[in-house]
Amino acid sequence: MKKAWRLAFCLAAIAACAALPARSAWAATAAEQAEALIRQGVQLRSQDQTARALPIFEKAYGISPTPRPAAQLGLCELELGHYAEAERHLSEALAKPDHPWIAKNKPVLERQLETARANVGELAITVSPAGADVSLNGKLLEQDQLGAALRLNKGPVEVVVRAPGYAPAHETIAIAGGKREVRKFALVPEGSNAVAAAPPAAVPAAPPVAPGPSIGLEPTPSEPASHTDNRRIAAWITAGVAAGALVFGTVEAFNAASKRDAFNDHTSIYGGVAVQDCGTSNLSAACRPLKDAYDQAITLSVVGFVAAGALAATSSVLFVLSSTGHAGTPEESGSTRALTCVPDVRTLGFGCALRF
């Protein structure tokens, strides 16, 4: 009996020793596969094919969830605007600062993590009754996520809350980077708000007013109809041109914002890491056209807004001059009209109003 136990023990030890090299070989193979996928993904990113690189980095991370695949996946997600996912994977990578590749690229990774965090906000939701289903942008949340601070990309989030026997509730919440929103939804049972509308209360008739003394008003001299019509036509034409200039300035403002984002988001690959390279004093050949395009767009936007303001003021004056009963002087018309413009600190511009 003792010999049988000894034999079984020896066989188990031999099997365990034989399995160790196999496990080590499998780990080495997984790391090599992940590294090959990372090289493929980095090459695609250098060719501006980041969307195609994302599933490759995800596969590498699934094979070997170590700091380097996590960091590469986070950088790819950041470039695609998946800020919440990028924050999670970059934080995971930087949690192992002793890893050789992480230690070498730590400053760059920390800057990219700050960028991701600046574009992520928090949303905490509580609901009544308990167990109600909550979906964000059509994606159903787990019950254990309710009440917790969810890290979400900045921008609008459509929240829908449903429960059997209750009227659904929904709200669009604007998530701001670095800010936290808290919402509580209390669903109302179906049919509880079906209240018959009461008939409108009768309004008592106003008591008759005794007529007062009549006041004679002498008509004031008016300008010839032809002059008034010409000014009114000119006022409408000027107003239309002002609206066109406003539209032009607005379009160029959006165009300038787009050019600015293209300048700020331009990246180059250094050591396998995408780095935003246009924020320097010495602009590269790739960054200079982006900067020139932004300067041109912002100049055209300012010209459009200034022209719109000047034309709008001119149109207002023409409308006043062409109004019925206006004469050449205030004394002849019986009233004084003036176009007054004052600085408006809320809009950083000028506010104009007609005063009578």
Domain identity same for 146 and 85 = no
Closest residue by Cα to residue 340 from 320, 321, 356, 354: 354
What CA–CA distance (Å, rounded) separates 228 from 332? 16
CB 92, CB 260: distance < 8 Å: no
Q: 174 pairs with which residues across the strands?
A: 156
Domain identity same for 89 and 54 = yes
Domain membership of residue 69 (yes or no) is yes
- What pLDDT, on a 0 to 100 scale, did the predictor assign at position 97? 93
Domain membership of residue 114 (yes or no) is yes
Cβ neighbors of 222 (< 8 A, separation 6 or more) are 228, 324, 325, 326, 327
- What pLDDT, on a 0 to 100 scale, did the predictor assign at position 219? 40
Q: How many CA atoms lie within 13 A of 113 on its CB side?
A: 16
Residue at a domain's end among 166, 186, 206? 186
Domain identity same for 87 and 31 = yes
First-last CA distance in the chain: 117
Structure tokens at 220: 């004031």
Cβ neighbors of 302 (< 8 A, separation 6 or more) are 249
Domain identity same for 134 and 114 = no
- What pLDDT, on a 0 to 100 scale, did the predictor assign at position 173? 95
Structure tokens at 60: 């590498």
- What pLDDT, on a 0 to 100 scale, did the predictor assign at position 6? 54
Domain identity same for 31 and 55 = yes
Count structural domains, the chain.
Answer: 3
Domain identity same for 162 and 77 = no
Domain identity same for 319 and 229 = yes
Domain membership of residue 343 (yes or no) is no
Structure tokens at 90: 């970059």
DSSP 212: -
* Residue type, position 292, single letter: D
CATH number of the CATH domain containing 166: 2.60.40.10
Structure tokens at 349: 């511009």
Domain membership of residue 277 (yes or no) is yes
Residue at a domain's end among 186, 213, 242? 186
Domain identity same for 65 and 107 = yes
What CA–CA distance (Å, rounded) separates 183 from 325? 57
Domain identity same for 29 and 75 = yes
Domain membership of residue 315 (yes or no) is yes
- What pLDDT, on a 0 to 100 scale, did the predictor assign at position 147? 85
- pTM beyond cutoff 0.75: no
Q: From first to last of the 356 residues of the chain, give the pLDDT tens digit.
A: 555 545 454 445 444 444 444 444 445 588 888 899 999 999 999 999 999 999 999 999 999 999 999 999 999 999 999 999 999 999 999 999 999 999 999 999 999 999 999 999 999 999 999 889 999 999 999 988 888 899 999 999 999 999 999 999 999 999 999 999 999 999 999 886 543 333 334 334 444 433 343 333 344 444 454 555 687 788 789 888 888 888 888 988 888 888 787 777 777 676 666 666 676 566 677 777 877 888 888 898 888 888 888 888 887 887 777 664 444 444 444 444 444 454 444 444 545 544 43
Pairing of strands 149-153, 120-128: antiparallel
Domain membership of residue 46 (yes or no) is yes
- Domain encompassing residue 87: 25-118
Domain membership of residue 73 (yes or no) is yes
Residue at a domain's end among 69, 102, 118? 118
Domain identity same for 124 and 111 = no
Domain identity same for 81 and 164 = no
Domain membership of residue 84 (yes or no) is yes
Domain identity same for 80 and 108 = yes
CATH number of the CATH domain containing 103: 1.25.40.10
